[in-house]
Structures are given as structure tokens and as C-alpha cells.
Amino acid sequence: MSAFAGKSHPGYKRSHNEDCYLADAELGLFLVADGVGGHADGEVASAIVRDTLRADLRTGASLVDAIHDAHRAVLDEIDRRDESNMGSTVVAALVAHGEYDIAWVGDSRAYAFDGELTQISRDHNPVSEMLALGAITPEQAATHPERNVLSQSLGVSGTIKIAPGHIRAGLHPGQQLLLCSDGLTDEITDAQISRIMQEQPTPQAQVDALVEAALDAGGRDNVTVVVVGAKRVPSGDTAGSGCNRLETLDQAAAARRPDATDEALWRRIIWVLGVPVAVAIAWVLAKFF
């Protein structure tokens, strides 16, 4: 997977950036983690998650097993500290051989984009569950006061039992994956994300424009975005080159055809010369025979 880009920004309201991301093309591993906790604990938690996943994937572990291991690693760090409740979300994609594995805990999201934006992950929070059951509308979910309350996260407390979401599917040519923290999705709508993905030509330009849009909308949280995969060349371009080729062939055929103006001129010359000759022949025949 050669085409990808990632970016993280602290935003305008937070003193720390507790988000982090990883884009390891060699492993095919891409992730976003969004840490929480007092002082600098959130940064520590998200970094533990990132480093644990990378280390475990290098030894051939599955994504889901690595996420369980990251949960234990954050809990171990909590045990080493006094009064820490640090935690982190994670959304991770393992991309190889035209397929992707995506696993997540919390409300950092994965989307697929192929001209249309489709959310792959489902946030681990009660509001998303209510939305899935049809108890509330997407508009109500977007502004619900408890939309950021998580039903599971990595670390925080040993009493939390995690059940990572997990999806495996084929990655079509031209299909892109977008991973992000809620600093993006709380600031701009899916429609805005889709438009930016459509307008920008490369993963780097898409990532830059998405982060910029979240900052323009207020930048109230850390914002992190990873885009994986090259953008599909619009089908209009292919049709355009085909049209150009046809146009050239038509022009070549037209060049070989006799010019219509020349044909009309010859017809007139034959008419002008032919009529007097015919009259003369008729006169000679009438006169002498």
C-alpha cells in the first residue's frame, strides 16, 4: 500500500494532543488512537496502544488479539501509577492482498470512500446503539449531549470488558479508507467529509483539507486523520480520452472524403459544357440527316 497520508493537530482549545496515529506501509497497518486522562495521561495511553499494536502485528498477531493486548498494556500502566484512569480509543486497519481488516474500540471511526462515503465502524456509545435501533434520528444523534460517552474503551478500568468491533472486506481498486478521531466528526458532517474527499486529488491533499476544515469549524478537540489508498481516476477522464480518439478518427475519414464544394463545382461544369454540346449534336443530326 504505497498511497497514504496522516496528520494530527492539537486543535485550538486543548493544551495537549492526546491523539496519535500510525501509518506503517511495510506492515500494512494504519491506526488512529484518541487518548483520555488527566495531565498527560491521555497521550501516554494512546501511545501505548499504537506501540502495542505495531509490536504485536510484527509477530503475526491478529488485529483483535493485539487490541486486547493493548487494553491489558494500558491497565498495566495504570497499575504503575497513582490514581490514573487513562484510556484510549483505537481504530486500526490492516491492509494486504486487496483486503482490509478493520477493528476498533470506542468512537474513532473508519469510513470507506469510492465516490460515496460509507461509515464502516459503529461507535461504541449508547447514542450510536439508540441510532442503530431507530430510537433516535441521525440529526438527534449528532447533537445528543451524551454522544461522546463511550460504552467501552482501552484501559480506564479493569472492570471494563472490551469487545472490539471487527470487519473484513475486499478493498476495490480506487477505494480509499479514512480513519479519524472524533475531533473530525464532531466538527464537520459526513456530507462535508465526502465533499472534501471528492474534491481533493491525493491522500495528502485530502488529509490536509479535512484537518483544516475541522480547525475552521472550531478545532475544539485534537483532530487526527489517516487516508489509505490512491484515489480512483474519475471515469469521465477515460471517456474523455476515448472521445478524443474517436474525434481524431472522424477527422481522418473526413480528410479522405472528396470535398462537397468540389463535387458541386464539377457538376456545374459538366452541366454548362454538356448542354451546348448536346444541342450542337442535335442540330447537326437534324441538318444533315
Q: Which residues of this protein are in contact with Ca ion, per CB under 5 A? A: 34, 181-183, 221
* Of residues 14 and 166, the one with the C-beta less far from Ca ion: 14
* Of residues 101 and 221, the one with the C-beta less far from Ca ion: 221
* Of residues 34 and 41, the one with the C-beta less far from Ca ion: 34
CA-angle at 214, arms to 2 and 12, nearest 5°:
115
* Of residues 41 and 182, the one with the C-beta less far from Ca ion: 182
Least CB distance to Ca ion at residue 90 (A): 12
CA-angle at 39, arms to 38 and 44, nearest 5°:
90
In which region does residue 39 sit, left (phi positive, over 0), alpha (psi from -120 to 50) or beta (all else)?
A: left
* Of residues 56 and 182, the one with the C-beta less far from Ca ion: 182
Q: In the structure grid, which three cell numbers stand for residue 97, read together?
A: 492482498
Between helices 203-216 and 190-199, what is the axis angle to 10°? 140
The residues, any chain, with a CB within 8 Å of residue 29's CB and separated by 6 or more, are 22, 53, 54, 57, 92, 93, 94
Least CB distance to Ca ion at residue 114 (A): 27
Least CB distance to Ca ion at residue 52 (A): 20
* Of residues 102 and 223, the one with the C-beta less far from Ca ion: 223
Collapse the DSSP code of 240 into the 3-class scheme (helix H, G, I; strand E, B; otherwise coil) and give the result. helix
The residues, any chain, with a CB within 8 Å of residue 216's CB and separated by 6 or more, are none
Least CB distance to Ca ion at residue 18 (A): 7
* Of residues 8 and 181, the one with the C-beta less far from Ca ion: 181
CA-angle at 20, arms to 18 and 26, nearest 5°:
165
Least CB distance to Ca ion at residue 223 (A): 8
In which region does residue 159 sit, left (phi positive, over 0), alpha (psi from -120 to 50) or beta (all else)?
A: alpha
Least CB distance to Ca ion at residue 181 (A): 5
Least CB distance to Ca ion at residue 171 (A): 27
| Sign for the pseudo-dihedral over CA of 253, 255, 260, 262 | negative
Q: In the structure grid, which three cell numbers stand for residue 26, read together?
A: 511495510
Between helices 63-80 and 41-58, what is the axis angle to 10°? 140
What is the C-alpha radius of gyration for the chain, rounded to an integer number of angstroms? 33
